[in-house]
Amino acid sequence: MTSTMTKTQPESTANDPFLWLEDRNGKEALDWVHRQNVLTVAELQGDPSYQATFETALDLMTAEDNMAVGAALAGHVYNFWQDKTNALGLWRRAPVASYKTEKPEWETIIDFDQLSAKEGIKWVFGGASRLYPDFDRCLLHMSPDGGDASEMREFDIATKSFVDGGFSARASKSGFSWLDKDTVIVSAAFEESDKTQSGYPRVIKLWRRGTKLEDATLIFEGAKHDLAVGGGVEYDDDKRHILLGKTLDFFTSHSFLRLDSGENRRIPLPDDATDTAIFKGQLIFGVRSPWTTPDGTRCLPDGLYSVDFDRWIATGTFGPFETVLEPAHRVSIAGLARTQDRLFINLMDNVRGKVIACDRTANGWSLKPVALPDNGNVGISHVEHFGSSVSFSFTDFLTPSSIIWSDDNGEMLQTVKSQPARFDASPYVSEQFEARSEDGTMIPYFVVRRRDQKGPVPALLYGYGGFEVPLLPGYAGIRGKLWLDTGNAYVQANIRGGGEFGPAWHQAALKGKRQNAFDDFAAVAEDVVKRGITTAAQLGIQGGSNGGLLTGTSLTQRPELFGAVIIDVPLLDMLRYTELPPGASWVAEYGDPSKPEEAAWLGAYSPYQHVAADVVYPPVLLMTSTANDRVHPGHARKMAARLQEAGHGRTLFFEETEGGHGGRGDRRPQAAQTAMRYMFLKRALTGTA
């Protein structure tokens, strides 16, 4: 281990020759970005097949027959829609009965292209909080650049206009939700004193109509070192609960109920409680680690439990606990959702989905499976909290997504929407294999390829492996059209660190165990080669955000395994990640580089510190966004600069100037980046130009 790896944060910063690239909007940094973009665009967009690839990607992203996914509320289905005509999109709605038809009668609520043209800002829709019980008013969130920070304005849905003199606030990472028509719960992150060290809300206030935001009444606050606080209202039938939360880190939190007296009473669940819901007077929850309740009930990860919430409100003590769902091998909870009368549990069973419907009766809990298709990715698309409608999504790698609708709490099911097929899936097969990782753990992965494949073909391996996020089977028309249909294979790895098999699968790659995730990914790469699906020279890898850390580390640790590496919106300098907002929020996932013992394990793999001049690396494409306020673009910039300085001329860098972390907004830049990725893979893995 070199001295660079073991140095603490201040010392490693002093020796960083590319620190100036962390200046997000600095002239010198942006001049460098511009020069890099010119070179990358010339090479990838200059490819003879680029234009057709771009047009195909854009056509599929903006096709008028794309499936309109929506959520029902008070008789309407609300949907956000983008196509070639509506680049920034329409927020619209249709009556439920009309939505189920082939040609719904959509009513436009806001045309964001028109609004943007009028105001001279490219507004990106960020969602809306609607006012109970009529849902005719909303607190509308709009980002000026596609980042996480959003402006808030009060909007009247009936008149399709902003409320004159209504609630409004400048762009920030604050949160807003209704308490009642004249009061808003504000999770504030405006001034530095309002923010946690991660840049998220630290205080919660009540803001009365007609008063200034700065005069709002403080009702709750967290510590500077907490990740964030947040508040909102939860309804259980006609009971209104004001819930406040303090997120300590990504995996632990404290929840509070605000009583009529003004007391914020902590709900005494374990810090790592998860999958919480309030239903029929019961508080439902899961745990990330074993917990024994006050009455002796043993709660285990991947199980679900409940306790009488109404009794706790009245007495301040918990009564008997009940088991809602027993844990099972390789079955994990993907989420909970509820209509007015039924609770639904979304499960993953060996990376395949199912949904369980739960009823609360005088005798306790009654469970039964919802009659949905097997052997695919089944999810809960929407639930109507104040009604009985619920919809489910179904897809797999070769089956276009569909929406299966119910108006009676999941009893009668009807497929109401299906995404049109974007490629002929009949020549392909989707298979699940396992690879043995360095420590003997078996790592599942999926392969999609031609049934008649005779020998190795170019393959793209995708991974993530962090934050309890699972990678599930899913249909992607662009991938099918631009990758599979050109004779290639697609591989998706379910490595540790993700949420495919519950908390234990995630914790196996947490902090100092991070190397397990990298070893898992390498094991899958070796296994697909061993099976004859591809060769190392024909194998490309891709990952974004935490997945960008995965592919960046794979590049520096095992470059011989890959023929091309795509690193999207990544973390790469793990000795400085907490200095780049909001990196401090991820300490529970990765560790704290200011602590020598944790800096040691971070430095042992941090890709930026491990670029070497005497190693042969495959071609690399790094992509990020200037407006990305979740993972700082400095990571990708500095990595590209260091690779190039070390003599690795096959390093390309591209930075979009808008769109944020998830690439929200206009589809044209997204289509261009997609096309450039496929151009890069084609040129690197097949040698064709």
Which residues carry out catalysis? 545, 661
| DSSP label of 654 | E
72 bridge partner residues: 77
Q: Break the chain down into helix, strand, coil percent, rounded to 5.
A: 25, 35, 40
Asked if 557 and 518 touch (Cβ cutoff 8 Å), the reply is yes
Residue pointed to by tokens 């020549």? 427
Task: Compute the distance between CA of residue 555 and CA of residue 242 in angstroms, rounded to an integer.
Answer: 48
Residue pointed to by tokens 């898992």? 520
Q: Both tokens of residue 473?
A: 């089977």
Q: 3-26: string of b/e by CB count within 10 Å (b at 16+)? A: eebbbbbeebeeebebeebbebee
| Helices 634-645 and 546-557: angle between axes, nearest 10 degrees | 20
Helix (H, G, I), strand (E, B) or coil at 36: helix
Q: 72-105: string of b/e by CB count within 10 Å (b at 16+)? A: bbbebbbbbbbeeebbbbbbbbbbbeebbeeebe
Side-chain half-sphere of 523: how many Cα atoms within 13 Å? 23
The contacts of residue 649 (CB under 8 Å, 6+ apart) are: none
Task: Compute the distance between CA of residue 641 and CA of residue 326 in angstroms, rounded to an integer.
Answer: 51
Cα dihedral value 53, 54, 57, 63, nearest 10: -120
Task: Compute the distance between CA of residue 305 and CA of residue 324 in angstroms, rounded to an integer.
Answer: 5
